[in-house]
Amino acid sequence: MQLVKSERKSAKIKMALQGCSGSGKTYSSLMLAFGITNNWSKIAVIDSESGSASLYSHLGAYNVLNLEGNFSPENYIEAIEICEKAGMELIIIDSISQAWDYLLDVHSNMPGNSFTAWGKITPRQNAFIQRILQSKCHVIATMRTKQDYVLSDKNGKMVPEKVGLKAQQRDGVEYEFTVVLDIDIKHIAVASKDRTGLFINLTEFKITPDTGKKILEWCNSGMTIDTVKELIQNAKTIEELTAIYHKYPEWYPLLTADFLNKKATIQAIDSSKPSINYQSNFINNGNNNAANTSQTNNN
């Protein structure tokens, strides 16, 4: 356990777009994706919306992976892994609402205590969300929304009251994403969560490829792995190299070879250097011995 100075690293965006049917979530996701990658062939859409992703094939030659009715979290996870292995830079998951609907159906059909049953459902949901967050690709997830209600006391009666739209996903899932954009039926977006600071002064806006470019600039504004590699190569001592090693633990798997090679180089250089302290002591002792010898002879 070590206390280090805070520093933002280069990141892959993990964001969500939520809106009702017809709000343009798929199209907006594609606009963002192209702005981030500037290359349609590096974009993959995991489609659980009955082929809606292919409706915009005229925009460019992006890739589509249809889930074909199996909306289990494990199937989504497998789809993400396929996209990563294919060398995609950005994955659009359109949408993640079906995964939650799938789990709700499984839960409702489980025998026994409902509370106990959630103990088997929650780990599957958590594994899915964590797989999104840990992806080496940029990820844009879409979520359907529905009208949300609360029960209010009016004249002694509990009456349902509309309180706005709610994403069809597990409560609190929006907290997992860096950015969450809400899109209305007129295709106007507002940020309901924004850790980038890019949308603070934008009360509402249309999503375009330029929006994706701004997000990419934010992603690249932190420390990159290439910068860390340069720090490793410039390290002069084992102590300096060790400090760099402990500062960037998230990149251990990618930088292990660099660290080991540089360590070997430093050790080889150090072993070839004569010991300054040893030489100094040797010289001093030699002078003292010579002085003592001279004094003995004089006596």
**Overall number of domains in the chain:** 2
pLDDT at 117 (0 to 100): 87
Is there a single domain that holds both residue 37 and residue 146?
yes
**Judgement on whether residues 227 and 110 belong to the same structural domain of the protein:** no
- Pick from 191, 220, 249: which residue ends a domain? 220
For 70-91, the pLDDT digits (tens) are 999 999 999 999 999 999 999 9
Mean pLDDT of the 148-168 span: 65
Q: Is the pLDDT of residue 293 over 50?
A: no
Q: 45: domain CATH number?
A: 3.40.50
Q: What is the mean pLDDT of residues 15-26?
A: 93
Q: Does 5 map to a domain?
A: no
53 — pLDDT class (breaks 50, 70, 90): confident
73 and 111 fall within a common domain: yes
* Final residue before a domain boundary, out of 184, 199, 220: 220
As given in the structure block, the two tokens for residue 90 are 């950005």
Q: Give the angle subtended at the CA of 133 by the CAs of 12 and 256, to the nearest 5°.
A: 70
- Answer yes or no: do 83 and 193 share one domain: yes
Residues 171 and 255 both lie in one domain: no
What angle (nearest 5°) sits at the alpha carbon of residue 276, between those of residues 275 and 278? Answer: 65
Cα distance between residue 194 and residue 211, in whole Å: 13
Q: At residue 3, does pLDDT exceed 60? A: yes
Q: What is the DSSP code string of the chain?
A: -------PBP---EEEEEE-TTS-HHHHHHHHHHHHHS-GGGEEEEE-STTGGGGGGGG---EEEE-TT---HHHHHHHHHHHHHTT-SEEEEE-SHHHHHHHHHHHHT--S-HHHHHHHHHHHHHHHHHHHHT-SSEEEEEEEEEEEEEEEEETTEEEEEEEEEEESS-TTGGGGSSEEEEE-TTS-EEEEEESSSTTTT-SSB---HHHHHHHHHHHHTSB-HHHHHHHHHH--SHHHHHHHHHH-GGGHHHHHHHHHHHHHHHHHHHHHSPPHHHHHHHHHHHHHHHHHHHHHHH-
* Last residue in a domain, options 200, 220, 240: 220
Q: List, for residues 204-237, the tens digit of each pLDDT value.
A: 999 999 999 999 999 988 777 778 888 899 999 9
Rounded-to-integer distance, Cα 126 and Cα 295, Å: 84
Q: Are residues 71 and 186 in the same domain?
A: yes
Using omega within 30 degrees of 0 as the cis cutoff, is the peptide bond preceding 221 cis? no
The pLDDT score that the predictor gives to residue 149 is 53
Domain assignment of residue 2, yes or no: no
Residue 53: which domain range? 14-220
Q: Do 205 and 234 share a domain, yes or no? A: no
Does the pTM of the predicted model rise above 0.75? Answer: no
Q: Mean pLDDT across the stretch 274-299?
A: 45
